[in-house]
Amino acid sequence: MGRKERLASRERLQRIRLLSSELDTLRNAAIERTRSIDTKSSFVVVAAGVLAGATFTGLVDARSWYLGLVPFALTVATIIAAAVSLWPSTIDSPSGRFLVTRWVNASERMEAMEDYILEVKVREIEKRNSKNEKRAKATKSAFVLLVSGVVTALLVAGINASVLRGDPTNGQTNPVHTPSAPGTP
């Protein structure tokens, strides 16, 4: 191998190592996005659980059960959307054991191994980013459903308070007047 080939080989090796380092940074960023999405989805599940408890016990009663079911249904949909986001998934990539077994005694040049590892990192980042996009959409939908559930719960509570429970006769058409005992003001 001549001087030009050695220089070109060295430069290529430096590029591979630089790319590998940058891919490690991108992979860590993708992992952090996954954690962030998990945290947001977990918050939505907890908030939806609180809302479901308040909605079901406070807004669903014998006279207005149909109104209370609207925010309750939105809350259940919120939990489902957040669960979709939190559903565990795998990212198919070679295990550490596979890499060691494949490359520790390989007859290929070291550049071939570095090329392979570079491609493995790229595929992992692409898969992780793709899954993160889908999970982020589910989390966003869960947030929209949660806000809708809160708004409808407030509307139903207002309707229940003003229309259904605001009747001073308590639903009686002919209120009974009980005369006071003699001598009481």
* Predicted local confidence at residue 4, as pLDDT: 85
Torsion of the alpha carbons at 66, 67, 70 and 73, rounded to the nearest 10: -50
Mean pLDDT by 10 residues, the chain (185 residues): 83 88 94 96 94 78 77 92 93 88 88 90 95 96 96 87 61 58 64
Q: How far is CA 59 from CA 63, 64, 77, 81, 132, in A?
A: 10, 8, 18, 23, 36
Place of tokens 């996954």: 34
* Predicted local confidence at residue 119, as pLDDT: 93
pTM of the model: 0.74
* Predicted local confidence at residue 169, as pLDDT: 52
